[in-house]
């Protein structure tokens, strides 16, 4: 007998600000393809979120298309999942305004990311930066997402989305699904190659600290060779060995080998041999993604066709939620 049980919905968005890192790939993207087997998935390039920081228009346009190409390159199938560009679906902005009016000023002012980004961009503390979490809530709630994959730095945003949804449901009845954090197969938490106590970040001013998903093999090898280690010269996972622990985590994620096996394989070998092996494993891990990416970027017409189809489906789904919300508030439709 055919199983007609509804699949749970997952929404994942990625900013279009710059090329994602190896950390983004191993920590999240690598699992996204598998998620689409078991869930109804929506994947979006969050370009509206990117403009809280000033963007060069020509470069920004290029980044949006590249980010969309990366989503397809990691194996997301636009026939199986909804893969779209956020700004192609105006319902996101419209619901964000409505939800702004159901969000308290105090709630937004307590958001840690606003405080951090205000310090980082003191010359441009705009209202969009302040209300950023409401747009994120709109992204999630429009699709009645059951789950949202979030890292530790995004948990507060999911909590505020739940708070806003609960408040609205409390006034008008059961309108929004309350999203839960998605706890799937745990990806690697990849740290900076230069400061291994900090998470790998594409905004790191030291380019040696991160590997971009599109870095050339020779660049990857060079960055890996300059990775910070320690003076023990022994490949083992232990407290106080942050640099080696990080490299072992990356190597394990790329090869599937356990830490125990890695320690055996590199017993009596120096860090130079290990760094080379990790670099080669990363090159091989990213090679198929980079090859696909190059193919897609040679066919921007195909990319735009996929994006338009995805946006069409996303608009249809999100409009149902938006109509429901507007009717509840009392707008004439």
Helix axes 57-73, 300-329, angle to 10 degrees: 100
Euclidean distance between CA atoms 164 and 182, whole angstroms: 19
For the question of residue 202 being annotated catalytic, the response is yes
61 forms bridges with which residues in the sheet? none
Euclidean distance between CA atoms 73 and 289, whole angstroms: 5
251: buried, middle or exposed (CB in 10 Å: 19+, 13-18, 0-12)? buried
The pair of three-digit structure tokens given for residue 322, joined into one six-digit string: 């938006």
For the question of residue 117 being annotated catalytic, the response is yes
Single out the catalytic residue among 202, 223, 241, 275: 202
Only one residue has tokens 């494993």, namely 281
195 forms bridges with which residues in the sheet? none
Single out the catalytic residue among 30, 117, 241, 275: 117
**DSSP type of residue 123:** T
242 forms bridges with which residues in the sheet? none
180 forms bridges with which residues in the sheet? 147
For the question of residue 199 being annotated catalytic, the response is yes
Single out the catalytic residue among 9, 199, 241, 275: 199
Q: How many residues does the chain have?
A: 333
Question: Phi then psi for 137, rounded to 5 degrees?
Answer: -65, -40
Selection from 70, 22, 24 nearest residue 210 by Cα = 22
Question: Phi then psi for 215, rounded to 5 degrees?
Answer: -60, 140
Give the catalytic positions in this structure.
Answer: 117, 199, 202
């Amino acid at each position: 007998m055919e199983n007609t049980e509804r699949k749970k919905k997952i929404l994942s968005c990625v900013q279009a600000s710059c090329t994602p890192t190896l950390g983004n790939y191993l920590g999240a993207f690598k699992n996204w393809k598998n998620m689409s087997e078991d869930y109804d998935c929506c994947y979006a390039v969050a370009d509206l979120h990117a403009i809280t920081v000033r963007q060069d228009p020509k470069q920004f346009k290029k980044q949006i298309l590249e980010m969309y190409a990366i989503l397809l390159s990691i194996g997301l199938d636009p026939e199986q999942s909804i893969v779209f560009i956020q700004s192609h679906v105006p319902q996101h902005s419209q619901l964000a305004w409505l939800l702004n009016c159901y969000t308290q000023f105090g709630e937004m002012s307590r958001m840690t990311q606003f405080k951090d980004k205000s310090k980082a961009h003191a010359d441009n503390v705009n209202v969009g930066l302040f209300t950023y979490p409401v747009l994120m809530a709109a992204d999630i709630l429009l699709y009645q997402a059951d789950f949202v994959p979030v890292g530790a730095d995004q948990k507060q945003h999911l909590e505020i989305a739940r708070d806003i949804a609960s408040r609205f449901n409390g006034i008008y009845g059961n309108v929004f699904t309350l999203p839960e954090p998605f706890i799937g197969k745990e990806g690697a938490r990849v740290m900076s190659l230069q400061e291994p106590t900090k998470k790998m970040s594409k905004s790191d001013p030291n380019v040696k600290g991160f590997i971009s998903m599109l870095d050339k093999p020779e660049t990857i090898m060079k960055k890996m060779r300059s990775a910070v280690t320690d003076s023990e010269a022994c490949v083992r996972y232990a407290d106080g060995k942050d640099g080696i622990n990080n490299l072992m985590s990356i190597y394990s994620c790329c090869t599937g080998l356990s830490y125990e096996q890695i320690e055996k394989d590199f017993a009596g070998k120096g860090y130079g041999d290990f760094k080379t092996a990790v670099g080669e494993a990363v090159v091989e891990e990213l090679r198929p993604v980079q090859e696909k990416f190059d193919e897609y970027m040679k066919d921007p017409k195909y990319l735009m066709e996929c994006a338009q189809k995805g946006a069409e489906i996303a608009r249809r789904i999100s409009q149902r939620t938006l109509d429901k919300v507007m009717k509840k508030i009392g707008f004439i439709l």
